[in-house]
Structure 1
Amino acid sequence: MSVLVVLRGNSGSGKSTVARAVQQRFPRARCLVVPQDTVRRNMLRERDTAAALNIELIEHVAAFGLARGLVVIVEGILDADRYGGMLERLGRSAARALHYGFDLSFDETALRHAGRAQAREFTAEQMAEWYHGWQPLPFANEVRIDGAWGLDAIVDRIEQDIRLQVADYLL
């Protein structure tokens, strides 16, 4: 049974760290992580615009995993206006879709950003340009994750939610 997990939120909120930690809780080749940054910045080297190619490529990669019954984690800023249609289509193609929105203040995301490798690539001032605050998806009931949640609590919650949905072969 395929399960789509969407982790959305501002840069520096912890989405990539959470996605990798959740993936480690499943056997190899049972959980596919599709990072927006990897597709957009590394594979395509493109800006985040409404007509960007990464939106379609993320959808294709995620659909590939869902068609094979995997747990698929799509993570990134995933602006509701630009990526909402794609996320809605993916959710309809999955047996089950789980949505989590990281809702942290800009000060909290800047603080977290200072401790990660990307701090050498872009500054907190640059991050402020694309910080957009809470952007709920109109078609999904997102679990809202604020700064009070610790990494272990987030990962445990997502793993538990997934395991309530998946077939025994993923366990």
Structure 2
Amino acid sequence: MDGAPHLIVLRGNSASGKTTVATTLQRRLGRGTANIGQDHFRRVVLREHDTPDADNIGLIAHTIRYCTRVGYNVIAEGIFLAEHYREMLGEVLAEHRGPTHVFYLDVPLEETLRRHRTRPLGTEVSAGKLRDWYVQADTLGVPGEIVLDGTADLESTVELICARIGPVPTKTVAAGARFLQVQDRGRRADRGDR
């Protein structure tokens, strides 16, 4: 459907680069692109473990539906373990009236362990725990799902995703309206953007 918002699902194991790719992609796609991170809803908003039938699953589904309904392109990113999230993701993908895209970042265990050591969560979560969480080739098996080489650099990965999804609609707003300006390190353009 021309002009309809896109729904992009970006999945992969812990330390596969999902969050960095999603943040970069959101900036690349421009105004009117929502970045719905599983970790934010699960770990920050609800402070719950990733379990079957956890409350974050419904909250994420509701947020995806809301954002697409009001015209936002949506990037839903997270581990989204297939065993726990397949049904919900399948439903929101099937319901969505615009273009849908599903990407899985396939990163080998040893590379996720190397990356994990370089991030703040690396001091909080042990390498052993990361090994326990790792699920090889945890794809959803939905039509059109694309498995990406998760060892490619950030720019190449984002370029490949952009090429696959094509142009997306952007929200147009009057000057000075509600969107924050993008600056280095996510700072606001001025103190008036609250």
Give the TM-score taking structure 1 as reference length: 0.91
SS at match of 2:63: helix
SS at match of 1:101: strand
Larger radius of gyration: 2
- Asked if structure 2 preserves the Cα contact closer than 8 Å seen for 1:66 and 1:93, the reply is no
Structure with larger RCO (C-alpha < 8 A, sep 6+)? 1
SS at match of 1:139: coil
| Alignment correspondent of 2:75 | 73
Moved more, 19-28 or 137-146: 137-146
One-letter amino acid of the counterpart of residue 102, structure 1:
L
| Alignment correspondent of 1:53 | 55
| Alignment correspondent of 1:86 | 88
Count of matched residue positions in the alignment of Structure 1 and Structure 2: 168
| Alignment correspondent of 2:134 | 131
Moved more, 37-46 or 19-28: 19-28
- Long gaps (5+) in structure 1: none
Give the fraction of aligned pairs with identical amino acids, expressed as a percent. Answer: 36
Alpha-carbon displacement from aligned partner over 1:123-163 (angstroms, at most 9, x marks no partner): 21111111111122122322112244211011112223333
Distance 2:12 2:146 in 1: 12
Alignment RMSD: 1.6
One-letter amino acid of the counterpart of residue 67, structure 1:
R
- Asked if structure 1 preserves the Cα contact closer than 8 Å seen for 2:72 and 2:171, the reply is no
Give the TM-score taking structure 2 as reference length: 0.81
- Asked if structure 1 preserves the Cα contact closer than 8 Å seen for 2:26 and 2:35, the reply is yes
| Alignment correspondent of 2:9 | 6
- Long gaps (5+) in structure 2: 173-194
